[in-house]
Chains A and B, each alone.
Chain A
Amino acid sequence: GESVGLHLPTLSVQEGDNSIINCAYSNSASDYFIWYKQESGKGPQFIIDIRSNMDKRQGQRVTVLLNKTVKHLSLQIAATQPGDSAVYFCAERPGGYQKVTFGIGTKLQVIP
């Protein structure tokens, strides 16, 4: 079947553990950031977003942290489940633009 995970960095975690996926972004003008989850054969699915005037935002089982000083984003998934297995992309939008730039994805493998 199709795979979006070829040659991507891979993170393997035990079911029930917490996962942390990191991302470095490039554009200091970006003021809006998004994490997407992409399962094989599907389009990206929105997980959580954060604006540049925040440094942390929490959702259901997920937390995004933003460090603008070093241009770094992270996605924390609590109590990782097999259904969380997918490729995760961070994305950024420069202020005033609709265009979203995706980063290099990370493949998350959950070990049952």
Chain B
Amino acid sequence: GAGVSQSPRYKVAKRGQDVALRCDPISGHVSLFWYQQALGQGPEFLTYFQNEAQLDKSGLPSDRFFAERPEGSVSTLKIQRTQQEDSAVYLCASSLGRAVNTEAFFGQGTRLTVV
């Protein structure tokens, strides 16, 4: 497919479990972003990669959240010891370039429910 792909589409985790969310960006896209969207809210920035380098992780809410993009393409967002407040849709976006006004394309998101 030509778009950003995220998996799984839905994830239910018991409180305390670790989860890993995958993002396949559009091929060749340099920039990759993760956002968290709570129900009825706008997306909130988590972290940004330029190729394999994580240049901004200021939005990660705690040290239980960890993101990586080891080869500059696929990215994984890992949440350790999940808590109920982690329940949200996690969105990934990618853009072709580094320029500020480069259009970002979003995936459909992974809906995480912590029970």
Contacts and interface: CB of A to CB of B under 8 A. Distances in A.
User: A and B from one assembly?
Assistant: yes
Contacts of A14: none
Interface string B72-115: 00000000000000000101010000101101111111010000
Contacts of B106: 43-45
Nearest to B101: A32
A96 B48 contact: no
B100 A102 contact: no
A43 B100 contact: no
Contacts of B37: 4
B42 A93 contact: no
Contact of A46 (B44, B55, B105): B105
A88 to B, nearest CB: 10
B59 interface: yes
Interface in B2-61: 4, 31, 33, 37, 39-40, 42-45, 48, 50, 55-56, 58-59
Given A5-B40, A43-B109, 18 more contacts: A2-B89, A3-B40, A6-B39, A44-B43, A45-B106, A46-B103, A46-B105, A49-B103, A96-B100, A97-B56, A98-B31, A98-B50, A98-B56, A99-B56, A99-B59, A100-B45, A100-B104, A103-B42
Interface of A: 2-8, 31-32, 41-46, 49, 51, 89, 93, 95-105
Interface of B: 4, 31, 33, 37, 39-40, 42-45, 48, 50, 55-56, 58-59, 89, 91, 93, 98, 100-101, 103-109, 111
